[in-house]
Amino acid sequence: MEEFYRIKRLPPYVFAIVNDLKTKARARGEDVIDLGMGNPDLGTPKHIVAKLVEAAQKPQNHRYSASRGITRLRKAMAKWYRDRYAVDLDHDSEVIATIGAKEGLAHLALAVLQPGDGVLVPNPTYPIHSYSVVIADGDLRSVPLTPDGNFFGRLQETARLAWPKAKMLILSFPHNPTTMCVERDFFVKVVDFAREHRLMVVHDFAYADFTFDGYQPPSFLQTPGAKEVGVEIFSTS
């Protein structure tokens, strides 16, 4: 069968590999504790399910949505940023709703990258951070994210050596899968770095609420100047 150009370029999908190993182990009768995907082991809270049922019963909701997301949702998102992070966002020109973080990342890369554009991405990382670049025909420039605490140094080195120069930087802290976290001063350095290298920054903030021991992860958008160089993506999944 014909091999499709984009599919062929994608790196192996780690979740598919883990699922395959799991299925084979279960077929052998092994007792597998599944730590593969972060699926909740409790149901969705009752009030959320009740609201979904209520909304699904209204025929006016059985239509296409607004492409940027309905106004009240975008207003609620802007309010959430103001209340939680003291970040001012204009719901009309600075907030959009996508069909999840993955869809947002994939289409953002398609919208802004040209074939061959270099994108700095930590390695390891959550698959869509590298897939979005490959799907958009961009050039992946991996930055090793290791436990030695020198990620920023490596980022500088990779950007310095890259030719043609990278156009975009994709970050995500708290980080999946390494759990690495950052403080606000890290993003201050990232904004300076982005200005120096004329990079667009994409920060995937999917783990904003998955923290322990009182640690409060900073939003990239809290950093002065962040809005001029980048965007932040949040997930409700």
Interface ranges with ligand PLP (CB under 6 A): 38, 100-102, 126, 172, 176, 204, 206, 235, 237
- In this structure, the dihedral spanned by the alpha carbons of residues 6, 159, 101 and 104, taken in order and rounded to 10 degrees, is -60
- On whether the CB atoms of residues 151 and 112 are closer than 8 A, the answer is no
Q: Which residues contact 75 (CB under 8 A, 6 or more apart)?
A: 91
Query: How near is the Cβ of 56 to ligand PLP at its closest, in Å?
Result: 20
In the complex with ligand PLP, the residue whose CB is nearer, 173 or 193, is 173
In the complex with ligand PLP, the residue whose CB is nearer, 222 or 235, is 235
Query: How near is the Cβ of 121 to ligand PLP at its closest, in Å?
Result: 12
In the complex with ligand PLP, the residue whose CB is nearer, 124 or 152, is 124
Residue 139, classified by CB atoms within 10 Å of its CB into exposed (0-12), middle (13-18) or buried (19+), is middle
In the complex with ligand PLP, the residue whose CB is nearer, 67 or 237, is 237
- On whether the CB atoms of residues 118 and 158 are closer than 8 A, the answer is no
- Rounded-to-5 percentages of helix, strand, coil across the chain: 45, 10, 45
Query: How near is the Cβ of 77 to ligand PLP at its closest, in Å?
Result: 14
Query: How near is the Cβ of 103 to ligand PLP at its closest, in Å?
Result: 6
